[in-house]
Structure 1
Amino acid sequence: MKWFLLRVLSLWSLALIDMSRSENGFEELIAEEIYPSYFDEEAVFPGANSLMVPLTLIPGAVSKGAVCLDGTPPGYHLHRGFGSGANNWVIHLEGGGWCNNIRTCVFRKTTRRGSSKFMEKQLNFTGILSNKPAENPDFYNWNRVRVRYCDGASFAGEGQDEVNQLYFRGQRIWSAVMEELMSQGMQNAIQALLSGCSAGGLASILHCDEFKALFPETTKVKCLSDAGLFLDSLNVAGGRTLRDMYAGVVTLQGVQKNLPSSCTSQKDPTSCFFPQNLVSNVKTPMFLLNAAYDAWQVDQSLIPSSADPHGLWHDCKVDRLRCNSSQIKFFQDFRDQMLNAVKIFSWSNQNGLFINSCFAHCQSELQDTWYGNDSPRVGNKAVAVSVGDWFFDRSTVKAIDCPYPCDKTCHDMVLK
């Protein structure tokens, strides 16, 4: 019953997004993330033994200009480690889409994705942030931090719009939060993992080497990007929905000055916001966790309503069993693009991969997809076990699933 209600709520959240988009007459709300940012199982149905962690704002950040879109201070949730994990840290960057023009950024600053005024005062820590060994075997007793996302450019913007009172300060937020956490004990870390989901997964790629540079060489530092492998792909109408939107994010929010020079010296700034053009040049060990048929990209980048005005893809989108052979081939081609994008990245023994053939998005945050009796598996290993094996060098992890529909362990999202 719990799972059924969750799915109903996720569909309802999608309906709200569609209504908001049509009433305001613009498609740019594609920049807002869908599930699990609006609803996830533990947020809607926190259990009796849930770990609720309070929000901490950084007042000193305001004087440094490190502010959310509306000028309010950024924040984070920290649950202290204990025992053998007391000097180890997991920093998890929250996701939540992007805003790509004045209209969407003005809207965003009235939400928790653009203002700390609207952020939840407590968040439930599950998945990679759980404090229970049965739920999070390798990281349960580490210092675990969820960094709130309120800039709309994957913690990478620098600028402002005075007319509309918008502050594009993602890079400064990143710096202020890291400075705060170092003062809270992270400077003494023996081991540290930077992770992130979706737009936060992109941020973990963008900031991975910066994170490593915070620590002495003796600290073991690695990065995890969950559902952050956004591809510069054609939609079903032959357009480039995500590239068009990213171009707005990069230009409006002044992201280009904070992109890696290893990329911008060869490609245009928008291309350098796409992870496929970044991951091979990240020097710090990195793990890419992604669904081969990433549900957010399927819904918002590959088959947005603007690219399918007559609904020819609707039945296939909501139920893969109703796809024809050419539609299945379209999905398989997308998977091929993803595998090709990580080919050079995967050559390095220090890097890890877990790409399962699911229609999912963000698998490290929810308990049922991170580590559980029926959680997704590749080669009989759950996500948490694979990430742990890679981080602690227990084994090399290059887990690439066979193509859809071979995987019967998926927890696929319900699309509308």
Structure 2
Amino acid sequence: MSYLESTDYEFIKYGITFKGILDSDSQFNPDFYNWHKVFVHYCDGSLFLSDVDQVDPTNNITFRGGRIYNAVMEEMLDKGMWNAHNAMLTGFSAGGLSTILHCDRFRALFPNTTRVKEGELANQSDSHFAGVIAANELRALLPSSCASKRDPNLCLFAEYLVEDVATPLFIAESAFDMFQIAYDFILTIPGLDPRKWENCSRSLEQCNATQIGIIKDFGTIFKKTLMKLNNSSSRGVFLDSCYLHTHILQSYNWIFFPVLDNKSVGKAIGDWFYDRSIFQEIDALNLYPQYCYPLSKK
């Protein structure tokens, strides 16, 4: 059973394409092709956490993402998910972060005999998250294991959450996440005009030397942050140097490239999920972002 959530605007605009980890073709997705798969659109803005009775009087908006999550889980359990032999909760972008926040709760839905693991790819921004926590009244809903140690506004950052996750977790990410760089990181640099990053955020070919340098600095920080986490034997890591925002729903990037330790991200996650091997690889060789697209001229 695979349950997916996403905020990627391409999927919202053009619809869901069941590729990558959702592909039903055994050639491209040998480990998960015959699973039951459920894709849940991310639509609440609170990482499926909020539960506020009052409707916002100014914008007539409700903040009840936690109820959406509960309703989806209840429906899936009624349809037989409780009887699954294998289950994975996964997502990318904000959906990846939501996966971390919910994975132990997801694990608790199944008997101990069910193999349950989580896969995630997340991006994050501190100022944005502080606003999310306030608007959705999330402070009391944040993991106490994190909020008791530090400023609760930091408890929507993956680096402060993963150490307390008990469920096996696989982190698949690029050190040069093109969305995170363009819409989060550059906003923290004084004097930079985000509008000048529009073309660079689409393609490395349209980035100038200054922008490439900034992207390089971001990757260095990201890799060092991930390396600080303890190497739990139950945690998988696939950190490449592609200029990408997601791997798991793109066929090419799921099964062909990038490759670390002679494995694609699809192969690495499959081996990790079925306990064939531990996978914890970080691309420390490439200091600059790489082209990881089919038919690329670079």
Q: What interval of TM-score do these two structures reach, taking the shorter chain for normalisation?
A: 0.7 to 0.9
Query: 1:36-58: CA deviations, max 9, x gaps?
Result: xxxxxxxxxxxxxxxxxxxxxxx
Which residue of the partner structure matches residue 153 of structure 1? 46
Instruction: Write the mapping of 1:184-203 to structure 2, written as runs, cut at 5 A.
Output: 184-203=79-98
Note if contact 2:5-2:42 (Cα within 8 Å) is conserved in structure 1. Answer: yes
2:68 equivalent among 135, 149, 173? 173
Structure 2 distance, partners of 1:149, 1:312, is 29
Which residue of the partner structure matches residue 384 of structure 1? 266
Instruction: Indicate the SS of the match to 2:3.
Output: strand
Query: 1:54-89: CA deviations, max 9, x gaps?
Result: xxxxxxxxxxxxxxxxxxxxxxxxxxxxxxxxxxx1
Which residue of the partner structure matches residue 277 of structure 1? 160
Note if contact 1:151-1:168 (Cα within 8 Å) is conserved in structure 2. Answer: yes
Structure 2 distance, partners of 1:296, 1:408, is 15
Which residue of the partner structure matches residue 263 of structure 1? 146
- What is the CA-CA distance between 1:95 and the residue it aligns to? 2.2
Over 3 Å counting, the alpha-carbon distance change for 1:125 and 1:280 in structure 2 is same
Say if 2:28 is the partner of 1:140: no
- TM-score, length basis structure 1: 0.63
Say if 2:137 is the partner of 1:254: yes
Note if contact 1:95-1:196 (Cα within 8 Å) is conserved in structure 2. Answer: no
Residue identity matched to 1:199: A
Residue identity matched to 1:244: S
Which residue of the partner structure matches residue 301 of structure 1? 184
Instruction: Indicate the SS of the match to 1:270.
Output: helix
Instruction: Indicate the SS of the match to 2:87.
Output: strand
2:170 equivalent among 280, 283, 287? 287
Structure 1 distance, partners of 2:175, 2:38, is 27
- What is the CA-CA distance between 1:294 and the residue it aligns to? 0.7
Which residue of the partner structure matches residue 284 of structure 2? 402
Instruction: Write the mapping of 1:15-414 to structure 2, written as runs, cut at 5 A.
Output: 89-96=1-8, 123-159=16-52, 160-226=55-121, 228-230=122-124, 242-304=125-187, 308-309=192-193, 319=204, 323-324=208-209, 328-372=212-256, 375-404=257-286, 410-411=292-293
Instruction: Indicate the SS of the match to 1:207.
Output: helix
Note if contact 1:332-1:403 (Cα within 8 Å) is conserved in structure 2. Answer: no
- What is the CA-CA distance between 1:371 and the residue it aligns to? 1.7
Alignment root-mean-square deviation, CA: 2.9
Instruction: Indicate the SS of the match to 1:347.
Output: coil
Residue identity matched to 1:248: G
Instruction: Indicate the SS of the match to 1:354.
Output: strand
- What is the CA-CA distance between 1:207 and the residue it aligns to? 0.4
Structure 2 distance, partners of 1:408, 1:123, is 26
Q: Size of the alignment, in residue pairs?
A: 290
- What is the CA-CA distance between 1:352 and the residue it aligns to? 0.3
Over 3 Å counting, the alpha-carbon distance change for 1:248 and 1:307 in structure 2 is farther
Over 3 Å counting, the alpha-carbon distance change for 1:307 and 1:371 in structure 2 is farther
Structure 1 distance, partners of 2:86, 2:194, is 52
Structure 2 distance, partners of 1:148, 1:316, is 27
Structure 2 distance, partners of 1:257, 1:410, is 41
Residue identity matched to 2:154: S
Structure 1 distance, partners of 2:236, 2:246, is 17
- TM-score, length basis structure 2: 0.87
- What is the CA-CA distance between 1:278 and the residue it aligns to? 0.6
Structure 2 distance, partners of 1:155, 1:96, is 16
Structure 1 range deviating more: 339-348 or 401-410: 401-410
Structure 1 distance, partners of 2:240, 2:67, is 35
- What is the CA-CA distance between 1:150 and the residue it aligns to? 1.3
Structure 2 distance, partners of 1:151, 1:282, is 23
Structure 1 distance, partners of 2:199, 2:4, is 35
Query: 1:338-364: CA deviations, max 9, x gaps?
Result: 233333545101100000001101110
Q: Give unmatched runs, 5+ long, in structure 2.
A: none
Runs of 4+ in 1 over 4 A off after TM superposition: 304-307, 310-318, 320-323, 326-329, 405-409
- What is the CA-CA distance between 1:394 and the residue it aligns to? 1.0
Instruction: Indicate the SS of the match to 2:62.
Output: strand
- What is the CA-CA distance between 1:407 and the residue it aligns to? 7.7
- What is the CA-CA distance between 1:269 and the residue it aligns to? 2.4
Instruction: Indicate the SS of the match to 1:355.
Output: strand
- What is the CA-CA distance between 1:187 and the residue it aligns to? 0.4
Instruction: Indicate the SS of the match to 1:404.
Output: coil
Note if contact 1:315-1:323 (Cα within 8 Å) is conserved in structure 2. Answer: no
Which structure would you say has the larger Rg?
1
Q: Give unmatched runs, 5+ long, in structure 1.
A: 1-88, 98-111, 114-118, 231-241
